[in-house]
Amino acid sequence: MKRRDFLQTTAAASVLPALLGGFPIGAYGYSPELAALTNAATQTDRVLVLIQLNGGNDGLNMVIPLDQYSALMNARSNIAIPESQVLRLTSATGIHPAMTGLKNLYDGGKIGVVQSVGYPNPNFSHFRATDIWTSASDSNVTITSGWAGRYLNGEYPNFPTGYPNAQAPDPLAISIGSVVSNCVQGPSVNMGMAIASTASFYQLLTGGVDTAPNTPAGHELTFIRQVVQQTQVYNTSIKTAAGRAQNLSPLYPAAGQNSLADQLKIVAQLVAGGLQTRLYVCNLGGFDTHAGQVPATGSTATGTHATLLGKISQALEAFLDDLRRLQVQDRVVGMTFSEFGRRIKSNSGYGTDHGAAAPLIVFGSSVNPMIHGTNPVLPATAGVNDNVPMQFDFRAIYGSLLLDWFRVPQATIEALLPHAGASFPYVPVLRPGVATGVASATDMSIKGFSVYPNPVREQATIEFEADGGHVQVLLYDMLGREVRRLLDRPLPRGVQRLPLLPDGLAAGAYYCQVQEGSRASSRLLTVER
């Protein structure tokens, strides 16, 4: 292997010569892919946080379909949460009882849930499924570059020459933890600089490197570690930002008790400290729960998976509370994802096997605080090979965030997310007013907005409270196209009820949006025939 080839395809492992909160962090160098991902060519202070749940999260144990509870119990009686202990988000949907913080966030309008996210013809290998999520490829196509890497390579073909510079003095992305995502792999150069360990942090300070094997590959590894020491160009700006802000939330657990909370605590500090980084990547492992997902005896609301879900909940609640106290809450949105879900039916080892679709969480004061999609329909007697069917392609969520949060042009998004079929549908995971930049996330929602009955067959009622301004009520299909304008005029202050007749609408899912001035809310509406 030639040294150049090795460098082009390897993410160098390193740490910055600093510890923040006792946690070593690493920075990605400025890269075309990430610059494009965050629309760095234009001025923006918006931040995206990605949280990868490594191992394959059991979505049916996290977001629980209460309207399918009997089928759920038939499929997994040895691990199912007692219905009385489920934390209800709606009458039909709840979450694991370990996620009390997440319940508080949902009630406060800072959490959205996207149901049954996956892709056609799912792959059940951890490695291949992760490649698919990070490269944004179809399952039958292998793409060695990451979706962000391809985009940045086209925007900044000379990277890394000339960076950092006056226009881009800070790292565009920071990875907290030791995982380097393939999404930052360009066609020829990997843009990422990874985190290593506390030991390698001290070796960096003293000028030493880890001992590598006395082999050709080992010699190349030693060379890379030496190069890493010479390329720590962003540590000063990161340390300066960290010195400008201190975490304010009392909800963080003690250091070392929750690794995800430790990571997000650093993100909040750096964002508040003015670092211009646009993308943060955090991770939490342990979700490959083939056995021992719950204890063999005792409560099914406890155990390995309950502990993991509790960590997610605790970390997100503390993080969003910290952002609010630091007054940067309107600058940050984020999402969780895992390479796949788990099977509907549990196994005899009190666990679950590799599956297909699963829900993901979007979080922040700017998200559309709703459940996107419907509960998965479970067979009355699920077999060992039955999976949760996909409702949303994960690339639709990527594309919608890029479009609304970073305002990446639709044509660029379609080139960035190649697909053999049609364009991915738009999913309003962010509040409309926030997405267009016309208002902050504060008081953005329409009061008392509901659509009933839902699903609708003959007629539905759209109910909301107007403030006395000009109101638009629009119906969009899943591609984001306006299919019907139900109202477009001033309304008096007070509760309004508008009939919706589904005549002429094909059976399927739609989004009903009500907007008055800078306030807007959306609801998923299903038309049945």
Distance CA(94)–CA(81), nearest Å, equals: 11
73 or 187: whose pLDDT is higher?
Answer: 73
Q: What is the CATH number of domain 450-527?
A: 2.60.40.1930
- 430 DSSP 8-state letter: B
Position 281 pLDDT exceeds 50: yes
pLDDT above 90 coverage of the chain, percent: 47
**What digits encode the pLDDT tens for the residues 229-260?**
434 566 777 778 888 889 999 999 998 899 99
CA distances from 283 to 53, 119, 129, 225, 315 (A): 6, 21, 16, 23, 12
Environment class of residue 212 by beta-carbon count within 10 Å: exposed (0-12), middle (13-18) or buried (19+)?
A: middle
Confidence band of 42 (pLDDT split at 50, 70, 90)? very low
- Residue 263: predicted pLDDT: 87
Q: What is the pLDDT of residue 482?
A: 79
Instruction: Assign residue 55 a region (left: φ > 0; alpha: ψ between -120 and 50; beta: otherwise).
Output: left
List 526's β-bridge partners, or say none.
509
Instruction: Give me the DSSP letters along 485-519.
Output: EEEEEE--SEEEEEEE--TTPPSEEEEEEEEETTE
With cut-offs at 50, 70 and 90, classify the pLDDT of residue 110.
very high
The CA distance from 529 to 354, in Å, is 35
The token pair that represents 230 in the structure block: 């010479």
Least confident interval from 3-12, 184-193, 296-305: 3-12
Q: Are 274 and 47 in contact (CB under 8 A)?
A: no
- The mean predicted confidence, pLDDT, of the chain is 80
The residue behind tokens 């066609």 is: 187
Contact 386, 438 (CB under 8 A): no
Contact 76, 65 (CB under 8 A): no
Q: Please report which residue ranges of 17-140 form alpha helices under DSSP H.
A: 32-37, 59-62, 69-75, 100-107, 126-135
Provide the edge-to-edge strand list for the sheet that holds 470-477. 482-490, 470-477, 508-516, 519-527
**Beta-sheet pairing, 508-516 with 470-477:** antiparallel
- What pLDDT, on the 0 to 100 scale, is given for residue 235? 74
Q: Hey, what amino acid is at 28?
A: Y
Average pLDDT over residues 375-396: 92
pLDDT at 209 over 90: no
Q: Select the more confidently predicted residue: 38 or 512.
A: 512
Residue-level pLDDT at 423: 77
Q: Which pair of structure tokens corresponds to residue 212?
A: 């590598």
At 241 the pLDDT is: 82
DSSP secondary structure code for residue 184 in this structure = G
Distance CA 297, CA 350 (A): 10
The 8-class DSSP code of residue 170 comes to: S
Q: What is the mean pLDDT of residues 458-471?
A: 91
Q: Which of 23-32, 245-254, 486-495 has the lowest mean pLDDT?
A: 23-32
The residue ranges of DSSP E strands in 121-210, in sequence order, are 173-175, 193-194
Residue 348: closest CA among 77, 84, 165, 132: 77
**47-53 and 450-452 as β-strands: parallel, antiparallel, unpaired?**
unpaired
Q: Where does the pLDDT of residue 317 fall: very low under 50, low under 70, confident under 90, or very high at 90 and above? A: very high
Q: Which two structure tokens, joined as six digits, stand for 400?
A: 């919608």
CATH of 47-416, one of 3.90.220, 3.10.450, 3.40.190, 3.40.720: 3.40.720
* Mean pLDDT for the stretch of residues 163-171: 72
Over 60: is that where the pLDDT of 225 sits? no
Produce one character per residue of 139-160: b if its CB has 16 or more CB atoms within 10 Å, e if not.
Answer: eeeebebbbbbbbbbbbbeebe
What does the domain layout of the chain look like in residue ranges? 47-416, 450-527
Instruction: Give the gyration radius of the chain's Cα atoms.
Output: 23
- Supply the pLDDT for residue 183: 65
pLDDT of residue 196: 44
Q: What pLDDT is recorded for position 179?
A: 59
What does the pLDDT average to over 51-65?
Answer: 96
pLDDT of residue 388: 93
Supply the pLDDT for residue 299. 96
Instruction: Give dist(CA 376, CA 173) in Å, integer.
Output: 35
Task: Considering only residues 36 and 133, tell me which one the structure prediction assigns the higher pLDDT.
Answer: 133
| Per-residue pLDDT at 291 | 96
Most confident among 285-299, 381-395, 451-465 (mean pLDDT) = 285-299
Q: What is the pLDDT of residue 518?
A: 59
Q: What is the mean pLDDT of residues 79-88?
A: 96
Which is more confidently placed, 323 or 194?
323
Is 50 exceeded by the pLDDT of residue 5?
A: no
**Spatial separation of the C-alpha atoms in residues 523 and 365, rounded to whole Å:** 18
**239-252: burial string, b at 16+ Cβ within 10 Å, e else:** eebbeebebbbeeb
- Quick one: CA torsion of 163, 166, 168, 169, rounded to 10 degrees? 80
Residue 22 has pLDDT above 80, yes or no: no
- HSE-CB at 510 with a 13 A cutoff on CA atoms is 26
321-375, pLDDT tens digit by residue? 999 999 899 999 999 999 999 999 999 999 999 999 999 999 999 999 999 988 9
Distance, in Å, from the CA atom of 164 to the CA atom of 5, rounded to the nearest integer, reads 24
pLDDT digits (tens, 9 = 90+) for 289-302: 999 999 999 999 99
Listed in sequence order, the DSSP H helices in 38-183 are 59-62, 69-75, 100-107, 126-135, 147-155
Instruction: Average the pLDDT over each of 53-67, 323-337, 425-439 and give the range with the smallest value.
Output: 425-439
Of 40 and 155, the one with more pLDDT: 155
Element (H, E) at 5: helix 3-9
Residue 65 pLDDT > 50, yes or no? yes
Contact 259, 316 (CB under 8 A): no
